[in-house]
């Protein structure tokens, strides 16, 4: 096996892992504010579209559980924490920029995946 074939095999293996990875997400919100409501709607829609059946989303109201927010060293909400798969990531805001959220969470847009060939 050539070095290029080995590299391609490893790359394809990582793509398969990414397509089946289980995501663990925690969204911290501040009660029923408009910003928090938009963040909840946006992350649920994104998860259903891109991670169907492969995610756990926990929504935490910081007014009801302020200690949990401080245990994550958060100073603003809404804030989304991606705990798995690694690396751990944090996003702050209403999560309305879908492309940015997908990139930050390392989620591939399945409609944009294309086959790559090294035969040229």
What the chain holds in terms of domains, given with CATH numbers, is: 3-112 (3.40.30.10)
Strands 89-92 and 55-61, sheet pairing: unpaired
CA distance 83 to 60: 14
In this structure, what are the phi and psi dihedrals at residue 116, rounded to the nearest 5 degrees?
-120, 135
Provide the residue count of the chain: 120
pLDDT tens column, 6-65: 877 877 766 666 667 899 999 999 998 999 999 999 999 999 999 999 999 999 999 999
% of the chain residues with pLDDT over 70 = 84
* pTM for this predicted structure: 0.76
Work out the average pLDDT over 76-99: 94
% of the chain residues with pLDDT over 90 = 57
CB within 8 A of 15, min separation 6: which ones? 108, 113
């Amino acid at each position: 096996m050539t070095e290029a074939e080995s590299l391609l095999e490893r790359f394809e293996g990582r793509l398969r892992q990414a397509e089946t990875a289980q995501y663990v997400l925690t969204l911290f919100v501040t009660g029923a504010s408009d910003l928090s409501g938009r963040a909840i709607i946006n992350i649920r829609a994104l998860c259903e579209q891109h991670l169907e059946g492969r995610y756990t989303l926990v929504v935490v109201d910081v007014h009801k559980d302020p200690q949990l927010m401080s245990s994550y060293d958060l100073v603003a909400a809404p804030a989304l924490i991606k705990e798995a798969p690694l690396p751990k990531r944090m996003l702050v805001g209403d999560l309305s920029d879908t492309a940015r959220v997908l990139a930050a969470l390392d989620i591939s847009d399945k409609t944009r995946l294309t086959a790559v060939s090294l035969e040229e």
